[in-house]
């Protein structure tokens, strides 16, 4: 099984914030693949389905939105990995989250690496005891004038950003599926680029 985890905070108060873009991407994958996220398992919202491969086969897919709040996301991820048939974390887990160090909409896939200050990822790495698992960073930019980053990520996207958000989330969903089907290296070459050049634009 492939497990995709989107990081965010539970509840309507946070639904439209930048910090919840990981949830948005996984919800988009669920919609694309007809997966319901109604199961209450692994301290989160969970669903499973299938991802069709070009050779006619299908990959079993698990989708998880931890409901632990961002800074405790690792507890849900560790519980899911313990309870699901995920054979190789370094190959079969992929975590999606927001990144203030990337411009809005920029995607960056990586096969492993540090947390870069993203507290949800910090907790995932600590809970798993290692950082060798793929991740997709979704750029949300930084506030102009050096404002407080914590307040920034907990604020809604601007009207201008919302106009482009659907397309950028769609590109992120495509990037995740590409990484699962073709491998992270292939997907990196396609999606680690300026959003204007992404496969979903134009």
Q: Which two tokens stand for residue 188?
A: 């990196």
Q: Comparing 197 with 62, which gets the higher pLDDT?
A: 62
46-65 burial, b at 16+ Cβ within 10 Å, e below that, comes to: bbbbebeeeeeeeeebbbbb
* Rounded distance between C-alpha atoms, residue 106 and residue 63, angstroms: 22
* Rounded distance between C-alpha atoms, residue 63 and residue 34, angstroms: 11
Give tens-digit pLDDT for 143-167.
988 789 999 999 999 999 999 999 9
Counting residues of the chain whose pLDDT is more than 70, the rounded percentage is: 96
**Predicted pLDDT at 196:** 59
**Predicted pLDDT at 110:** 97
Q: What is 30-61 written as a DSSP string? A: HHHHT----EEETTEEEEEEEEE-TTS-EEEE
Give tens-digit pLDDT for 2-48.
999 999 999 999 999 999 999 999 999 999 999 999 999 999 999 99
pLDDT band at residue 201 under the 50/70/90 scheme: very low
> Nearest Cα to 185, choosing from 113, 114, 111?
111
* Catalytic residue check, 123: no
Q: Is residue 73 part of a domain?
A: yes
CB atoms within 10 A of CB 185: 10
The model carries a pTM of 0.94
**Predicted pLDDT at 200:** 45
Q: Is residue 164 part of a domain?
A: yes
pLDDT band at residue 197 under the 50/70/90 scheme: low
Domain encompassing residue 101: 2-197
**Predicted pLDDT at 188:** 97
Contacts 24+ apart (CB under 8 A), 159-162: 161/104, 161/105
The CATH number of residue 33's host domain is: 3.40.50.1470
Distance of CA 137 to the CA centre of its chain: 7
Give me the catalytic one of 2, 17, 18, 19: 19
Q: Is residue 180 part of a domain?
A: yes
Let me know how many helices (H) and strands (E) the chain has, helices first: 7, 7
> How many domains does the chain fold into?
1
Q: Is residue 202 part of a domain?
A: no
Q: Comparing 173 with 57, which gets the higher pLDDT?
A: 173
Q: Region 104-120: what's the mean pLDDT?
A: 96
Q: Report in angstroms the alpha-carbon separations of 182 from 64, 85, 113, 172.
A: 21, 20, 20, 15
């Amino acid at each position: 099984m492939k497990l995709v985890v989107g990081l965010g905070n539970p509840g309507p108060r946070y639904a439209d914030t930048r910090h919840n873009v990981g949830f948005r991407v996984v919800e988009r994958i669920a919609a694309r693949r007809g997966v319901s996220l109604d199961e209450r398992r692994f301290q989160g919202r969970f669903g499973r389905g299938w991802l069709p491969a070009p050779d006619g086969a299908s990959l079993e897919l698990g989708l998880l939105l931890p409901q632990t709040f961002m800074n405790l996301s690792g507890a849900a991820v560790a519980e899911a990995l313990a309870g699901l048939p995920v054979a190789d974390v370094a190959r079969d887990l992929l975590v999606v989250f927001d990144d203030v160090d990337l411009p809005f909409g920029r995607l960056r896939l990586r096969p492993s690496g540090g947390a870069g200050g993203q507290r949800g990822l910090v907790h995932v790495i600590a809970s798993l005891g290692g950082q060798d698992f793929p991740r997709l960073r979704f750029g949300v930019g930084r506030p102009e004038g050096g404002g407080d980053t914590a307040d920034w990520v907990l604020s809604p996207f601007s009207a201008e950003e919302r106009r482009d958000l659907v397309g950028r989330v769609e590109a992120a969903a495509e990037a995740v599926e590409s990484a699962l089907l073709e491998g992270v290296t292939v997907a990196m070459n396609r999606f680690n680029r300026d959003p204007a050049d992404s496969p979903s634009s134009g």
